[in-house]
Structure 1
Amino acid sequence: CYLAVVMDLFARRVIGWSLSAHADTALISSALRMAYETRGQPRDVVFHSDQGSQYTGLKYQQLLWRCRINQSVSRRGNCWDNSPMERFFRSLKTEWVPTNGYAGKDEARQQINDYILNGTVAKLAMRQ
């Protein structure tokens, strides 16, 4: 199971996510569309990602263009460029995902939704 996440870096909060059996353009497009709708279809915002083929492919580039989203990409082999996302996934894996994984996709989806909705919302509320 693959997870794609879009984070609002100003708020340090996940605003879009999607789970799929495949790490493909459909997965990341779904997460971006959720974030785009969650934020009220903003224009001229910046989306930062790594240089993965899913993010640099024509279909994804067209989605960004239609949504009027500017793309920024990390330098090759430099995890520091995307450290907030690296930290999110590290925290998810160490704080939430069972050592032996989930029993199935439905359990994974429910547990990850709970982590994102309750974990990031609770952390945001504590900071305010």
Structure 2
Amino acid sequence: MIGRFKVRALMKEQGLISKQPGTHAYKKSTVERPDIPNILDRQFTVEAPNTVWCGDITYIWAQGKWHYLAAVLDLFSRRVVGWAMSAKPDADLVVKALDRAYEMRGRPSGVLFHSDQGSQYSSRHFRQRLWRYRMTQSMSRRGNCWDNAPMERLFRSLKTEWVPTVGYMTAALAEQDIGRYLMQRYNWTRPHQHNGLVPPAVVEEKLKSLSGNC
């Protein structure tokens, strides 16, 4: 092993400078939304796919600055059904992730969509999209991360198991690599405790076989 002092001396000799991702400052909601109740109320176990979806945003260091990832999770199997990345954490980002989920899941209706009280999810743009898709909106209580715990667990797994500690060289590389984790590893090969150590997509395939659906 090489100690940090030796590494520092070698880097100084080569003219190298260590650069770590900066501290992330994320704008939080400061307004309660009593018009959007917490319908889900931590009832994270559901009986069928496309019953409840959860959404959230996290940040990824790429190309020397923060980029943002929005994901949509089906609570039945904890399968990632939609995601999007952008340089801005705005309403367009979460709408894009929702659009992808809606198309990927065969345009279901009657879904309950749950999120935190982020301004992106309470925006007119996002709420109009939910109305168009005939979905009902539910929101966590302000400052209560456990109200959206499945999303917190997803992002924790992504960052501890997959994302490089120093981030990505380019945004395009970040999007490609994160997409591989979410749609392939997380959905199809990674054991999930909620499913008795069976990957989310495999659970849904077994359900289709039992119900006789193609």
When the two structures are superposed, what TM-score results if normalisation uses the length of structure 1? Answer: 0.95
Q: Which residue of 2 aligns with 1:45?
A: 111
Structure 2 distance, partners of 1:126, 1:56, is 33
Structure 1 distance, partners of 2:189, 2:134, is 31
Aligned length: 128
Q: Which residue of 1 aligns with 2:37?
A: none
What percentage of aligned pairs have identical amino acids? 56
Gaps of at least 5 residues in structure 2 are 1-66, 191-198, 207-214
Gaps of at least 5 residues in structure 1 are none
- Is the partner of 1:113 in helix, strand or coil? helix
Structure 1 distance, partners of 2:122, 2:72, is 16
Per-residue CA shift, 1:29-66, capped at 9, x if unaligned? 00000111111111111000000111001111111000
What are the within-5 Å matches in structure 2 for residues 1-128 of structure 1? 1-120=67-186, 121-123=188-190, 124=199
**What letter matches 2:163 in structure 1?**
V
- Is the partner of 2:107 in helix, strand or coil? coil
- Is the partner of 1:98 in helix, strand or coil? coil
Q: Which has the higher helix share?
A: 1
- TM-align CA RMSD: 1.2
Larger radius of gyration: 2
When the two structures are superposed, what TM-score results if normalisation uses the length of structure 2? Answer: 0.58
**What letter matches 2:110 in structure 1?**
D
How far the C-alpha of 1:126 sits from its partner, in A, is 6.4
Structure 1 distance, partners of 2:83, 2:136, is 19
How far the C-alpha of 1:122 sits from its partner, in A, is 1.4
- Is the partner of 1:71 in helix, strand or coil? strand
